[in-house]
């Protein structure tokens, strides 16, 4: 589990096709190498991926993860190339502060930025969600976008908006978002359970 609070911005250093439908990604980060054991879970722009190896390159730590065909199909991982910047978060440990909201790292689909409004110190984004996921997105509810825990401001059909504060724009990849950017979307798990309960009534 994760909280949607990004702790580093990493960079894809290599993409290797290992077998049909399987890619190995090597990612550079600022984490201490000794703190990343094999089998650790790291959310990479919202996708929970398992570390299969670590190393060092250019004075920084690297870790490798495998992305299978389903991950490549339903997330933006299929578009990642060398140089792609990723929001990183280590998995939640017992006793850690839950500063965002509970995020599983299981991406539901891909949303697209349809508008960006730059304000004096903030930025407002309007996104279009996949039709099947729009019912899980509610005004004042939580959503994870590229692994960042955010509060939904408005919802109109399949479109919803979020307001990003200066700190988040600075320490995540969100500052580079523009219309047309595709991002990983994970709906709030509580919204999913609520919708499921309503279906049974």
Where in the sequence numbering do the catalytic residues fall? 2, 41, 48, 50, 68, 106, 151
Torsion sign, CA atoms 167, 31, 81, 182: negative
Rounded CA-CA distance 106/117 in Å is 29
Q: Which of 130, 155, 163, 35 is nearest to 91 (CA)?
A: 35
- Please report, for residues 2, 122, 150, 180, 185, the alpha-carbon distance to residue 112 in angstroms, rounded to integers and kept in the order given: 23, 19, 15, 6, 9
At 64, give phi and psi (nearest 5°): -115, 145
User: For the purposes of burial, counting CB atoms within 10 Å of the CB of 165, is it exposed (0-12), middle (13-18) or buried (19 or more)?
Assistant: exposed
For the chain, where are the alpha helices, taking DSSP H only? Answer: 69-74, 166-171, 189-199
Assess contact for 23 and 105: CB atoms under 8 A.
Answer: no
């Amino acid at each position: 589990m994760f909280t949607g609070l990004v702790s580093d911005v990493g960079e894809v250093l290599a993409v290797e096709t290992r077998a049909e439908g399987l890619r190995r990604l090597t990612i550079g980060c600022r984490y201490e190498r000794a703190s990343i054991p094999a089998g650790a879970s790291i959310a990479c722009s919202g996708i929970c991926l398992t570390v299969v190896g670590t190393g060092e390159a250019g004075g920084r730590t690297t870790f490798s993860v495998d992305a299978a065909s389903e991950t490549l199909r339903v997330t933006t991982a299929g578009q990642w190339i060398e140089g792609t910047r990723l929001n990183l978060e280590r998995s939640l440990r017992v006793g850690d502060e839950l500063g965002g909201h509970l995020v599983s790292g299981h991406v539901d689909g891909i949303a697209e930025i349809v508008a960006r409004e730059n304000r004096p110190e903030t930025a407002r984004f309007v996104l279009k969600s996949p039709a099947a996921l729009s019912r899980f997105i509610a005004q004042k509810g939580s959503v994870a976008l590229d692994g960042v825990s955010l509060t939904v401001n408005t919802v109109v059909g399949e479109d919803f908006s979020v307001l990003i504060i200066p700190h988040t724009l600075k320490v995540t990849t969100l500052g580079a978002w523009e219309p047309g950017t595709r991002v990983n979307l994970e709906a709030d798990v509580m919204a999913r359970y609520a919708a499921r309960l309503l279906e049974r009534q």
